[in-house]
Structure 1
Amino acid sequence: MPPKVSILMLTYNAPEFVEIAVRTVRDRTCDVNFELVVVDNASEEPTRGLLHRLDDEGLIDTLHFSPTNTLFAGGNNLAATLAAPDATHFLLLNSDVEIRDDAWLSNLLSHHSRGASSYGMVPDPLRVDGYCYLIDADLYRSAPLDEEHQWFWAITKQQAGLLSADLSVRGYFEHERYVHHFGGRSGTGFTGAKGLSVDRLELDRWFGGRSPIVIDLHTLPLLTRVDLVGPEFVRRAVHRIQRVRARAARAVSRRRP
């Protein structure tokens, strides 16, 4: 069955960026069956008025106005309940992005294995970002974002859970060709969120030594790899290279008369 993607977008003020996000999603998403579900987190009037206009233009499939700011975890969990029942995947997409390539979503789907895939990664610990995050819909429905971590740690905890279940988590560091993330355009409405403070020991318990796959690692300069992914990841990568070289040397030795 071909995939059907429900794009879940939360909005909170920043109307000029919301308009860019909605219009470029609609104009530059090709070869994928998708719907756009927008949940507004109690924005001020300029953003609410804009969303009504975009909805009237037919650019939004489902639009919901929350009377309160449900923040990242609660808002996406709410949006997931509004998605089409036959959606095969959810794509959590920030409202401060610009889609730059018609193949942005089809490309992400082509690299996706059951679990989660993302444009954007974060080091230390290595994890995929949550601003453009694709996940199988049934996995999300069975284990939605933990609302005890209302902001970005919710997506971190979810992907750690996927890894612990031996599912795939993978992402791109370099994604400007496909999607530009302006970042931080919705202000500081998250500052009172629950679960913002997570120490490194807790993160290590979540991940249990597991790490996502970097899809585009082979395209990154070596120095950039060291800067981005940290010494432990590089140590493991060097160890893998050494093992490959050792196997190759043994194979050459066996072929000698």
Structure 2
Amino acid sequence: MKGKTSIVMLTYNELHLTKKCIDSIKQHTRSDQYELIIVDNASTDGTKAYVRELEDVIFIENEENQGFAKGCNQGAKKATGDSVLFLNNDTMVTENWLSPLREALFASERIGMVGPVSNYVSGPQMVQPSYTDVRELPAFAKDYTAARKGQRTYVHRLVGFCLLVKRELIEEIGLFDERFVYGSFEDDDLCLRSLLKGYQLQIVHDSFVHHHGHATFHANQETNISTFFAENRLRFLDKWGIDLNLMTPHPYFAALLPQEAACVLDVGCGAGATGLELINRQAVDMYGVESDSLKATIAKAYYKEVKEVNVDEYPWSEKEAFFDAVIFSDVLEHVSDPWQIITRAHKSLKPGGVIICCLPNMMHAEVLLPLMTGDFTYQEVGILDRTHMRFFTPKTMRALFPDHLFDRVIEQQINVPIDQNVQLFFDEVARVGESLGFQTKALSDQVTLYQLLIVARTKGGASSG
């Protein structure tokens, strides 16, 4: 692939690691593929003298430590390539590392940033290596990447230890936000700004980069990584009000969705984490409903359509017999008329389509025991979330899906254990109730049921598998 990548490397001491990183670049990258820009943040261990002697390197020397974001920005402003790769100096690249990254980046106009997998990184870019010595690294990386040629994963977040970014994206959204001093969350911020402009992010599984991890922090005795992380996290939350690390898919929905489902409505989709998991698993067009504007805009980077409305405002009539599946993720308890919503959703499903929903159980001891003592206090989270408008028991959950419209094909319980004495109390209540002729036999089990997952298929449809 033609084109040149500008590699921007920030250094602060740790000369031995910088040498290994640069040597690996020279060994595994064609000279016409890249330019190297090194920004030194006032090293005192001979790094500056070493870099000055290198040929074909653009070198920027800072008299004071400017931090990660500002230093990287200095380097990126000198870049002339069609892409900029921010690379930590405590990394070692491996055979054929750059070409797959570039191929992924330029495979689509919608892709704005990509990153490799590594032995030391947070999130899904992390893989478990079999090597214990860097001398074993080349063989491992060659075998690992060969077995995953062309494999890509869409994500909401990439880590800045090795981050390849399109020049046009930088020109559109800008560089790292320099309020995130020294390091951490400047990459999250760049990722979020990219998503909000409609760009997509990918992990490239056939590119492996070894990472020693936090070498710059360890080299600077005046820095405390935990303190900087906490402070920058607060800066990020203050700026955006959202944590990319908390944008996770529903833990059960992907396994319950039929793999042949090609058109799915995700009601209450949030930032689209569940849909992203489905997109990575199967060929599917995701549609979403989300009232939070920021989350809806993030989801739009991957979803075919996202309506920024409340659930009861969704134009169901425009999508009659349209979807293979409709997902309600912790939604129906928040609307005034969930029965009407289910009826409308039924009309939007193709024959044999399914509804997948998750509902909290009012019978759990977390609610039932305080209720028996006269306490029904709303909480910030949980079954008594103050935004909940409707409350359900297993019986009334099932009643949402009337027999003349649906077959309930799957019920899956999510149980949360309770204190042993509380369990004994409800066991006794159930026993006494039965002895008096009340239907309390199921009470002992219901007080540990926190949520119920239901998969309901439209009547007369084919099996959901």
TM-score (norm 1): 0.73
**Deviates further, 32-41 or 185-194:** 185-194
- Say if 1:42 and 1:80 are closer, same or farther in 2 by CA, change over 3 A: same
The alpha carbon displacement at 1:239 in A equals 2.6
Q: What is the rounded CA distance, in whole Å, between the counterparts of 1:98 and 1:233 in structure 2?
A: 32
CA contact (8 A) 1:115 1:169 kept: yes
Distance 1:118 1:100 in 2: 14
Displacement of 1:230 after TM fit?
8.5
SS at the partner of 1:144?
A: coil
**1:100-179, aligned counterparts within 5 Å?**
100-101=94-95, 103-112=96-105, 113=108, 114-120=111-117, 122-123=122-123, 127-142=157-172, 143-150=174-181, 151-172=183-204, 178-179=208-209
Q: Measure how far apart 1:123 and its partner are.
A: 3.4
Aligned mates of 2:177, 2:102 — CA distance in 1: 25
Unmatched 5+ stretches in structure 1: 212-228
Q: Counterpart of 1:40?
A: 40
Aligned to 1:223: none
Please name the residue that 2:65 is paired with: 69
- Residues 198 and 39 of structure 1: is their aligned pair in 2 closer, same or farther, counting only changes over 3 Å? same
Quick check: which one's helix share is greater? 1
Mapped partners of 2:12, 2:60: distance in 1: 12
Identity over aligned residues, as a percent? 22
Q: Which runs of 4+ in 1 moved over 3 A?
A: 123-126, 188-197, 203-208, 229-232
| TM-align CA RMSD | 3.7
- C-alpha distance in 2 between matches for 1:29 and 1:152: 28
Residues 1:200 and 1:78: Cα distance change in structure 2 (over 3 Å): closer
Q: How many angstroms does 1:245 deviate by?
A: 4.3
Query: Can you list the C-alpha shifts for 1:13-60, whole angstroms capped at 9, x where unaligned?
Result: 00110001111112211496210000111001421222123x1xx2x4
Note the C-alpha offset of 1:200. Answer: 10
Deviations 1:70-103 (A, max 9, x none): 111000110011222xx210000000111121x1
**Residues 40/126 of structure 1: CA separation in 2 closer, same or farther (3 Å cut):** same
Residues 5 and 201 of structure 1: CA distance in aligned 2, closer, same or farther (over 3 Å): closer
Flag structure 2 segments of 5+ consecutive residues without an equivalent: 125-154, 262-323, 325-350, 354-460
Query: Does 2:90 correspond to 1:96?
Result: yes
2:249: which partner in 1?
Answer: 233
Deviation string 1:158-191 (CA, Å, 9 cap, x unpaired) is 101111111011225x67x621011122225354
Of structures 1 and 2, the one scoring higher in RCO (CA 8 A, sep 6+) is 1
- Indicate the SS of the match to 1:196: helix
**Does the 8 A contact of 1:38 with 1:64 survive in 2?**
yes
The amino acid across from 2:65 in the alignment is N
Contact 1:153 1:195 in 2 (8 A): no
2:241 & 2:113 partners in 1: Cα distance? 16
Per the alignment, residue 244 of structure 1 pairs with: 259
Q: What SS does the aligned partner of 2:114 have? A: strand
1:235 deviation in Å?
Answer: 2.5
Alignment of 1:184-203 (within 5 A): 184-186=214-216, 187=218, 189=220, 190-191=223-224, 196-199=231-234, 202=237
Judging changes above 3 Å, is the alpha-carbon distance between structure 1 residues 250 and 194 closer, same or farther for their aligned structure 2 residues? closer
